[in-house]
A = this chain, B = another copy of it.
Amino acid sequence: MADRPHVVIVGGGFAGLYCARKLRRAPVRVTVIDRRNFHLFQPLLYQIATASLSPADIATPIRTVLRRQRNAQVWMGEVVDVDRESREVRLADGVSVGYDYLVLATGATHAYFGHDEWAEHAPGLKTVDDAIEIRRRFLLAFEEAEREADPASRSRQLTFVIVGAGPTGVELAGAMAEIARRVLPSDFRAIDTSAARILLLEGADRVLPPYPPELSRKAKRQLEALGVEVRTGAMVTQVADGFVVVGDEECIEAENVFWAAGVSASSLGARLGVETDRAGRVPVQPDLSVNGDPNVFVVGDLASVRKEDGSPVPGVAPAAIQMGKHVARTIGRDLAGRPRNPFQYVDKGDLATIGRAAAVAHLGPLKLSGFVAWILWVVVHILYLIGFRNRVLVMLQWAWAYLTYQRGIRLITGESHVTLRQARRSDGASDL
Protein backbone atom coordinates (compact mmCIF):
# COMPACT_ATOMS: atom_id res chain seq x y z
CA MET A 1 0.00 0.00 0.00
CA ALA A 2 3.02 2.27 0.56
CA ASP A 3 3.50 2.86 -3.19
CA ARG A 4 -0.04 4.09 -3.75
CA PRO A 5 -0.56 7.84 -4.30
CA HIS A 6 -0.89 9.63 -0.98
CA VAL A 7 -4.00 11.79 -0.50
CA VAL A 8 -3.65 14.16 2.46
CA ILE A 9 -6.92 15.64 3.69
CA VAL A 10 -6.61 18.51 6.15
CA GLY A 11 -9.76 18.91 8.26
CA GLY A 12 -12.25 16.29 9.47
CA GLY A 13 -15.42 18.31 8.96
CA PHE A 14 -18.13 17.40 6.48
CA ALA A 15 -16.05 18.09 3.36
CA GLY A 16 -12.91 16.29 4.53
CA LEU A 17 -14.63 13.30 6.05
CA TYR A 18 -16.97 12.64 3.13
CA CYS A 19 -14.01 12.93 0.79
CA ALA A 20 -12.06 10.38 2.83
CA ARG A 21 -14.97 7.94 2.94
CA LYS A 22 -15.63 8.26 -0.76
CA LEU A 23 -12.00 7.25 -1.39
CA ARG A 24 -12.40 3.97 0.46
CA ARG A 25 -12.17 1.83 -2.66
CA ALA A 26 -9.73 4.06 -4.57
CA PRO A 27 -6.13 2.83 -5.10
CA VAL A 28 -4.72 5.50 -2.75
CA ARG A 29 -3.44 5.96 0.78
CA VAL A 30 -5.49 8.53 2.70
CA THR A 31 -4.27 10.56 5.68
CA VAL A 32 -6.79 12.77 7.47
CA ILE A 33 -5.18 15.43 9.67
CA ASP A 34 -7.24 17.44 12.15
CA ARG A 35 -6.46 19.56 15.21
CA ARG A 36 -9.23 17.78 17.03
CA ASN A 37 -9.80 14.07 17.35
CA PHE A 38 -13.49 14.28 16.50
CA HIS A 39 -15.87 15.17 13.70
CA LEU A 40 -18.45 17.69 14.87
CA PHE A 41 -22.01 17.88 13.54
CA GLN A 42 -21.99 21.66 13.46
CA PRO A 43 -25.67 22.26 12.51
CA LEU A 44 -26.61 21.11 16.03
CA LEU A 45 -23.91 23.01 17.87
CA TYR A 46 -26.46 25.57 19.09
CA GLN A 47 -28.16 22.74 20.98
CA ILE A 48 -25.05 22.32 23.11
CA ALA A 49 -25.03 26.07 23.72
CA THR A 50 -28.65 25.89 24.86
CA ALA A 51 -28.27 22.84 27.11
CA SER A 52 -30.25 20.38 25.01
CA LEU A 53 -27.48 18.03 23.99
CA SER A 54 -24.08 16.98 25.30
CA PRO A 55 -20.99 17.43 23.12
CA ALA A 56 -20.63 13.68 22.65
CA ASP A 57 -24.12 13.50 21.15
CA ILE A 58 -23.01 15.43 18.09
CA ALA A 59 -19.35 14.48 17.89
CA THR A 60 -17.70 11.21 16.86
CA PRO A 61 -13.98 10.43 16.89
CA ILE A 62 -12.67 10.68 13.31
CA ARG A 63 -10.79 7.44 13.90
CA THR A 64 -14.00 5.65 14.70
CA VAL A 65 -15.68 6.90 11.53
CA LEU A 66 -12.76 5.59 9.45
CA ARG A 67 -12.10 2.52 11.59
CA ARG A 68 -12.90 -0.05 8.92
CA GLN A 69 -11.37 1.89 6.04
CA ARG A 70 -8.02 0.16 5.74
CA ASN A 71 -6.56 2.65 3.24
CA ALA A 72 -7.07 5.56 5.67
CA GLN A 73 -5.10 6.73 8.69
CA VAL A 74 -5.85 9.64 11.03
CA TRP A 75 -3.36 12.09 12.51
CA MET A 76 -4.21 14.54 15.22
CA GLY A 77 -2.19 17.68 14.57
CA GLU A 78 -2.38 21.23 13.33
CA VAL A 79 -1.29 21.98 9.78
CA VAL A 80 0.26 25.44 9.70
CA ASP A 81 1.76 25.64 6.22
CA VAL A 82 1.61 24.20 2.72
CA ASP A 83 4.64 23.92 0.46
CA ARG A 84 3.27 23.40 -3.06
CA GLU A 85 6.81 23.31 -4.47
CA SER A 86 7.97 20.28 -2.50
CA ARG A 87 4.41 18.95 -2.13
CA GLU A 88 4.24 18.75 1.63
CA VAL A 89 2.28 20.20 4.52
CA ARG A 90 4.00 21.28 7.72
CA LEU A 91 2.54 20.68 11.17
CA ALA A 92 2.81 22.94 14.20
CA ASP A 93 5.30 20.57 15.80
CA GLY A 94 7.63 20.82 12.81
CA VAL A 95 6.81 17.48 11.19
CA SER A 96 6.31 17.54 7.40
CA VAL A 97 3.98 15.23 5.50
CA GLY A 98 4.36 14.73 1.76
CA TYR A 99 1.35 14.38 -0.54
CA ASP A 100 0.46 13.45 -4.09
CA TYR A 101 -2.97 15.00 -3.71
CA LEU A 102 -3.86 17.63 -1.11
CA VAL A 103 -7.41 18.40 -0.02
CA LEU A 104 -7.75 21.48 2.17
CA ALA A 105 -10.98 21.43 4.16
CA THR A 106 -10.26 23.52 7.24
CA GLY A 107 -13.49 25.51 7.14
CA ALA A 108 -14.34 28.90 8.53
CA THR A 109 -15.10 30.62 11.80
CA HIS A 110 -17.13 33.70 12.75
CA ALA A 111 -15.72 37.21 12.21
CA TYR A 112 -16.19 40.46 14.08
CA PHE A 113 -16.05 42.78 11.04
CA GLY A 114 -12.53 43.86 11.99
CA HIS A 115 -13.41 44.35 15.67
CA ASP A 116 -11.67 41.39 17.26
CA GLU A 117 -11.84 43.17 20.61
CA TRP A 118 -15.58 42.40 20.66
CA ALA A 119 -14.84 38.68 20.93
CA GLU A 120 -14.41 38.66 24.73
CA HIS A 121 -17.80 40.33 25.23
CA ALA A 122 -19.65 38.41 22.53
CA PRO A 123 -18.51 34.82 22.06
CA GLY A 124 -19.32 33.14 18.76
CA LEU A 125 -20.36 29.58 18.06
CA LYS A 126 -18.03 27.42 15.99
CA THR A 127 -16.44 24.87 18.32
CA VAL A 128 -17.50 22.68 21.21
CA ASP A 129 -15.59 24.95 23.56
CA ASP A 130 -17.45 27.98 22.16
CA ALA A 131 -20.75 26.24 22.73
CA ILE A 132 -19.87 25.36 26.33
CA GLU A 133 -18.82 28.96 26.96
CA ILE A 134 -22.14 30.28 25.63
CA ARG A 135 -24.02 27.73 27.74
CA ARG A 136 -22.02 28.80 30.78
CA ARG A 137 -22.77 32.50 30.30
CA PHE A 138 -26.43 31.92 29.49
CA LEU A 139 -27.06 29.79 32.58
CA LEU A 140 -24.87 31.92 34.82
CA ALA A 141 -26.91 35.03 33.99
CA PHE A 142 -29.96 33.55 35.72
CA GLU A 143 -27.89 32.42 38.71
CA GLU A 144 -26.56 35.93 39.13
CA ALA A 145 -29.92 37.57 38.68
CA GLU A 146 -31.41 35.29 41.36
CA ARG A 147 -28.98 36.78 43.88
CA GLU A 148 -29.06 40.37 42.60
CA ALA A 149 -31.01 42.89 44.70
CA ASP A 150 -30.68 45.93 42.41
CA PRO A 151 -33.45 45.92 39.76
CA ALA A 152 -31.37 47.72 37.11
CA SER A 153 -28.47 45.25 37.40
CA ARG A 154 -30.91 42.39 37.42
CA SER A 155 -32.57 43.52 34.22
CA ARG A 156 -29.16 43.95 32.56
CA GLN A 157 -28.29 40.41 33.60
CA LEU A 158 -31.54 39.10 32.13
CA THR A 159 -31.05 40.82 28.76
CA PHE A 160 -29.60 38.59 26.05
CA VAL A 161 -28.55 40.02 22.72
CA ILE A 162 -27.88 37.79 19.73
CA VAL A 163 -26.12 39.53 16.85
CA GLY A 164 -26.94 38.10 13.44
CA ALA A 165 -30.17 36.44 12.29
CA GLY A 166 -28.85 33.76 9.98
CA PRO A 167 -29.80 30.17 10.85
CA THR A 168 -27.46 30.07 13.89
CA GLY A 169 -28.78 33.33 15.36
CA VAL A 170 -32.40 32.38 14.76
CA GLU A 171 -31.92 28.95 16.32
CA LEU A 172 -30.04 30.34 19.34
CA ALA A 173 -32.64 33.06 19.97
CA GLY A 174 -35.58 30.67 19.64
CA ALA A 175 -34.05 28.10 21.96
CA MET A 176 -33.00 30.67 24.57
CA ALA A 177 -36.46 32.26 24.65
CA GLU A 178 -38.07 28.88 25.05
CA ILE A 179 -35.80 27.90 27.95
CA ALA A 180 -36.36 31.21 29.75
CA ARG A 181 -40.15 30.93 29.37
CA ARG A 182 -40.83 27.23 29.58
CA VAL A 183 -38.01 25.45 31.38
CA LEU A 184 -36.54 27.73 34.02
CA PRO A 185 -39.46 29.51 35.75
CA SER A 186 -40.15 26.83 38.36
CA ASP A 187 -36.44 26.53 39.23
CA PHE A 188 -36.07 30.09 40.48
CA ARG A 189 -37.60 31.87 43.50
CA ALA A 190 -36.52 35.51 43.37
CA ILE A 191 -36.73 36.18 39.63
CA ASP A 192 -39.30 35.64 36.92
CA THR A 193 -37.17 34.07 34.21
CA SER A 194 -39.92 34.51 31.64
CA ALA A 195 -39.35 38.26 31.89
CA ALA A 196 -35.89 37.82 30.36
CA ARG A 197 -35.42 39.88 27.20
CA ILE A 198 -34.04 38.05 24.17
CA LEU A 199 -33.10 40.45 21.37
CA LEU A 200 -32.15 39.30 17.91
CA LEU A 201 -30.32 42.00 15.92
CA GLU A 202 -29.88 41.74 12.16
CA GLY A 203 -28.21 44.30 9.90
CA ALA A 204 -30.17 43.24 6.82
CA ASP A 205 -33.85 44.07 6.41
CA ARG A 206 -35.13 40.61 7.34
CA VAL A 207 -34.18 37.50 9.29
CA LEU A 208 -32.69 34.53 7.42
CA PRO A 209 -31.57 36.78 4.53
CA PRO A 210 -30.65 33.95 2.14
CA TYR A 211 -34.14 32.40 2.42
CA PRO A 212 -37.21 33.47 0.41
CA PRO A 213 -38.86 36.60 1.92
CA GLU A 214 -42.05 34.68 2.72
CA LEU A 215 -40.16 32.29 4.99
CA SER A 216 -38.31 35.16 6.63
CA ARG A 217 -41.68 36.67 7.55
CA LYS A 218 -42.89 33.37 8.97
CA ALA A 219 -39.69 32.87 10.94
CA LYS A 220 -40.01 36.35 12.40
CA ARG A 221 -43.61 35.69 13.46
CA GLN A 222 -42.64 32.38 15.07
CA LEU A 223 -39.75 34.01 16.92
CA GLU A 224 -42.02 36.77 18.21
CA ALA A 225 -44.56 34.21 19.36
CA LEU A 226 -41.77 32.73 21.50
CA GLY A 227 -41.08 36.17 22.98
CA VAL A 228 -37.98 37.12 20.99
CA GLU A 229 -37.67 40.83 20.09
CA VAL A 230 -36.60 40.80 16.46
CA ARG A 231 -34.85 43.94 15.17
CA THR A 232 -33.93 44.08 11.49
CA GLY A 233 -31.92 46.86 9.87
CA ALA A 234 -30.06 47.02 13.18
CA MET A 235 -26.34 47.51 12.60
CA VAL A 236 -24.18 46.81 15.65
CA THR A 237 -21.48 49.49 15.87
CA GLN A 238 -20.05 48.76 19.30
CA VAL A 239 -19.90 45.85 21.76
CA ALA A 240 -18.49 46.42 25.22
CA ASP A 241 -18.79 45.19 28.82
CA GLY A 242 -22.47 45.58 29.69
CA PHE A 243 -23.85 47.17 26.53
CA VAL A 244 -24.26 47.03 22.75
CA VAL A 245 -24.61 50.09 20.51
CA VAL A 246 -26.91 49.86 17.50
CA GLY A 247 -26.47 52.37 14.67
CA ASP A 248 -25.46 55.87 15.71
CA GLU A 249 -27.10 56.29 19.03
CA GLU A 250 -29.16 53.47 20.51
CA CYS A 251 -27.47 51.78 23.47
CA ILE A 252 -28.85 48.47 24.72
CA GLU A 253 -27.77 47.53 28.24
CA ALA A 254 -27.08 43.79 28.33
CA GLU A 255 -24.62 41.60 30.21
CA ASN A 256 -24.94 38.79 27.69
CA VAL A 257 -24.11 39.20 24.02
CA PHE A 258 -23.68 36.30 21.62
CA TRP A 259 -22.24 36.54 18.14
CA ALA A 260 -23.80 34.79 15.15
CA ALA A 261 -22.67 37.08 12.34
CA GLY A 262 -19.78 37.29 9.91
CA VAL A 263 -17.61 34.56 8.51
CA SER A 264 -13.85 34.26 8.20
CA ALA A 265 -12.19 31.37 6.41
CA SER A 266 -9.40 29.34 8.01
CA SER A 267 -6.04 31.09 7.81
CA LEU A 268 -4.52 28.10 6.01
CA GLY A 269 -6.07 29.37 2.77
CA ALA A 270 -3.68 32.29 2.79
CA ARG A 271 -0.69 29.90 2.90
CA LEU A 272 -1.45 28.60 -0.59
CA GLY A 273 -0.01 31.72 -2.18
CA VAL A 274 -3.12 32.54 -4.19
CA GLU A 275 -5.28 35.60 -3.71
CA THR A 276 -8.23 34.97 -1.38
CA ASP A 277 -11.54 36.85 -1.22
CA ARG A 278 -12.47 39.32 1.52
CA ALA A 279 -13.52 36.56 3.90
CA GLY A 280 -10.27 34.67 3.28
CA ARG A 281 -11.86 32.04 1.02
CA VAL A 282 -9.81 30.50 -1.78
CA PRO A 283 -11.23 30.88 -5.32
CA VAL A 284 -11.13 27.51 -7.09
CA GLN A 285 -11.32 26.16 -10.62
CA PRO A 286 -14.49 24.42 -11.81
CA ASP A 287 -13.00 21.08 -10.63
CA LEU A 288 -12.31 22.65 -7.16
CA SER A 289 -8.55 22.60 -7.69
CA VAL A 290 -6.35 25.61 -7.05
CA ASN A 291 -5.30 27.64 -10.09
CA GLY A 292 -2.24 26.08 -11.73
CA ASP A 293 -2.03 23.14 -9.33
CA PRO A 294 -4.40 20.33 -10.31
CA ASN A 295 -3.32 18.16 -7.37
CA VAL A 296 -4.38 20.67 -4.69
CA PHE A 297 -8.07 21.00 -3.93
CA VAL A 298 -9.95 23.35 -1.63
CA VAL A 299 -13.41 22.29 -0.43
CA GLY A 300 -16.11 23.25 2.04
CA ASP A 301 -16.34 26.65 3.73
CA LEU A 302 -12.73 27.46 2.83
CA ALA A 303 -13.53 27.42 -0.90
CA SER A 304 -15.12 30.29 -2.80
CA VAL A 305 -17.30 28.49 -5.34
CA ARG A 306 -19.90 29.94 -7.73
CA LYS A 307 -23.07 28.33 -8.98
CA GLU A 308 -23.80 28.34 -12.70
CA ASP A 309 -25.81 31.55 -12.27
CA GLY A 310 -22.80 33.25 -10.68
CA SER A 311 -24.19 33.34 -7.16
CA PRO A 312 -22.03 31.86 -4.38
CA VAL A 313 -22.49 28.31 -3.15
CA PRO A 314 -23.59 28.74 0.48
CA GLY A 315 -21.47 27.64 3.42
CA VAL A 316 -23.73 24.79 4.53
CA ALA A 317 -23.13 21.12 5.30
CA PRO A 318 -24.73 19.70 2.13
CA ALA A 319 -22.48 21.88 -0.06
CA ALA A 320 -19.39 20.74 1.87
CA ILE A 321 -20.41 17.09 1.54
CA GLN A 322 -20.96 17.45 -2.20
CA MET A 323 -17.57 19.11 -2.67
CA GLY A 324 -15.76 16.47 -0.64
CA LYS A 325 -17.32 13.67 -2.65
CA HIS A 326 -16.65 15.45 -5.93
CA VAL A 327 -12.94 15.69 -5.21
CA ALA A 328 -12.81 12.01 -4.27
CA ARG A 329 -14.44 11.15 -7.60
CA THR A 330 -12.02 13.45 -9.44
CA ILE A 331 -9.00 11.74 -7.89
CA GLY A 332 -10.49 8.39 -8.91
CA ARG A 333 -10.96 9.60 -12.49
CA ASP A 334 -7.38 10.92 -12.60
CA LEU A 335 -6.01 7.57 -11.53
CA ALA A 336 -8.19 5.78 -14.08
CA GLY A 337 -6.94 8.14 -16.79
CA ARG A 338 -10.37 9.71 -17.32
CA PRO A 339 -11.03 13.44 -17.70
CA ARG A 340 -12.21 15.58 -14.80
CA ASN A 341 -15.75 16.92 -14.45
CA PRO A 342 -16.69 20.36 -13.15
CA PHE A 343 -18.36 20.55 -9.71
CA GLN A 344 -22.09 21.22 -9.79
CA TYR A 345 -23.88 22.23 -6.62
CA VAL A 346 -27.28 20.65 -6.07
CA ASP A 347 -29.34 22.88 -3.81
CA LYS A 348 -31.23 20.61 -1.44
CA GLY A 349 -32.99 23.51 0.24
CA ASP A 350 -32.71 25.18 3.61
CA LEU A 351 -34.00 24.32 7.03
CA ALA A 352 -33.96 26.30 10.24
CA THR A 353 -35.64 25.51 13.52
CA ILE A 354 -37.16 28.06 15.87
CA GLY A 355 -37.62 26.26 19.12
CA ARG A 356 -39.92 23.45 20.10
CA ALA A 357 -42.03 22.23 17.21
CA ALA A 358 -41.52 25.22 14.93
CA ALA A 359 -39.28 25.62 11.92
CA VAL A 360 -39.11 26.92 8.39
CA ALA A 361 -38.01 24.95 5.35
CA HIS A 362 -37.34 25.80 1.75
CA LEU A 363 -36.98 22.78 -0.50
CA GLY A 364 -37.05 23.62 -4.18
CA PRO A 365 -40.61 24.73 -4.90
CA LEU A 366 -41.73 23.74 -1.40
CA LYS A 367 -41.88 26.30 1.42
CA LEU A 368 -42.89 24.82 4.74
CA SER A 369 -43.22 26.29 8.20
CA GLY A 370 -44.45 25.34 11.66
CA PHE A 371 -44.80 21.75 12.90
CA VAL A 372 -44.45 20.02 9.51
CA ALA A 373 -41.18 21.84 8.87
CA TRP A 374 -40.04 20.93 12.38
CA ILE A 375 -40.67 17.22 11.87
CA LEU A 376 -38.75 17.42 8.61
CA TRP A 377 -35.93 19.18 10.45
CA VAL A 378 -35.81 16.44 13.11
CA VAL A 379 -35.72 13.65 10.53
CA VAL A 380 -33.05 15.27 8.36
CA HIS A 381 -30.78 16.02 11.30
CA ILE A 382 -31.12 12.57 12.78
CA LEU A 383 -30.36 10.97 9.42
CA TYR A 384 -27.22 13.00 8.90
CA LEU A 385 -25.79 12.42 12.37
CA ILE A 386 -22.78 10.17 12.11
CA GLY A 387 -22.93 7.12 14.34
CA PHE A 388 -25.86 4.95 15.29
CA ARG A 389 -25.37 5.54 19.00
CA ASN A 390 -25.62 9.28 18.52
CA ARG A 391 -28.83 8.95 16.52
CA VAL A 392 -30.58 6.88 19.15
CA LEU A 393 -29.45 9.07 22.02
CA VAL A 394 -30.24 12.35 20.32
CA MET A 395 -33.67 11.08 19.31
CA LEU A 396 -34.35 10.01 22.88
CA GLN A 397 -33.21 13.32 24.31
CA TRP A 398 -35.29 15.30 21.87
CA ALA A 399 -38.34 13.19 22.66
CA TRP A 400 -37.74 13.71 26.37
CA ALA A 401 -37.24 17.46 26.00
CA TYR A 402 -40.31 17.69 23.78
CA LEU A 403 -42.56 15.83 26.17
CA THR A 404 -41.39 17.40 29.41
CA TYR A 405 -40.04 20.84 28.51
CA GLN A 406 -36.87 19.87 30.37
CA ARG A 407 -33.36 20.66 29.28
CA GLY A 408 -31.08 18.10 30.78
CA ILE A 409 -27.62 19.52 30.21
CA ARG A 410 -27.87 22.64 32.34
CA LEU A 411 -24.34 22.43 33.73
CA ILE A 412 -22.08 25.37 34.32
CA THR A 413 -18.59 23.93 33.83
CA GLY A 414 -15.26 25.29 32.70
CA GLU A 415 -12.03 26.77 33.90
CA SER A 416 -13.42 29.29 36.31
CA HIS A 417 -14.63 27.43 39.36
CA VAL A 418 -15.89 30.44 41.20
CA THR A 419 -18.03 31.46 38.33
CA LEU A 420 -20.12 34.32 39.60
CA ARG A 421 -19.35 37.51 37.81
CA GLN A 422 -19.31 39.58 40.98
CA ALA A 423 -16.72 37.28 42.51
CA ARG A 424 -14.53 37.53 39.46
CA ARG A 425 -14.80 41.28 39.43
CA SER A 426 -13.89 41.65 43.03
CA ASP A 427 -10.77 39.56 42.74
CA GLY A 428 -9.72 41.03 39.46
CA ALA A 429 -9.99 37.87 37.37
CA SER A 430 -11.12 38.53 33.85
CA ASP A 431 -12.08 35.31 32.22
CA LEU A 432 -15.78 35.95 31.55
Contact = CB atoms under 8 A, between A and B. Distances in A.
Ranked nearest first, the 9 interchain pairs of A and B with the lowest CB-CB distance are A54-B54, A63-B187, A93-B422, A76-B143, A56-B409, A73-B189, A92-B423, A93-B423, A61-B410
26 contacts: A35-B417, A36-B412, A36-B419, A37-B411, A37-B412, A38-B411, A38-B412, A54-B54, A54-B56, A59-B411, A64-B406, A67-B187, A68-B186, A73-B190, A74-B146, A74-B187, A75-B146, A76-B143, A78-B420, A78-B423, A92-B418, A92-B420, A128-B411, A129-B417, A389-B406, A393-B397
A408 interface: yes
A237 interface: no
Interface residues of A, number: 64
B76 A37 contact: no
A113 interface: no
A78 to B, nearest CB: 5
Contact of A76 (B75, B396, B420): B420
A123 to B, nearest CB: 14
Contacts of A427: 92
Interface string A120-155: 000000011100100000011001001100000000
A414 interface: yes
A426 interface: yes
Interface of A: 35-38, 54-57, 59, 61, 63-64, 67-68, 73-78, 91-95, 127-129, 132, 139-140, 143, 146-147, 186-190, 387, 389-390, 392-393, 396-397, 400, 406, 408-415, 417-420, 422-423, 426-427
A330 B136 CA distance: 37
Indicate the member of A55, A56, A73, A91 with the most B CB atoms within 10 Å: A56
A56 B47 CA distance: 14
A64 B423 contact: no
Contact of A411 (B56, B94, B409): B56
B412 A147 contact: no
Nearest to A75: B147
A93 to B, nearest CB: 4
Contacts of A418: 35, 78, 92
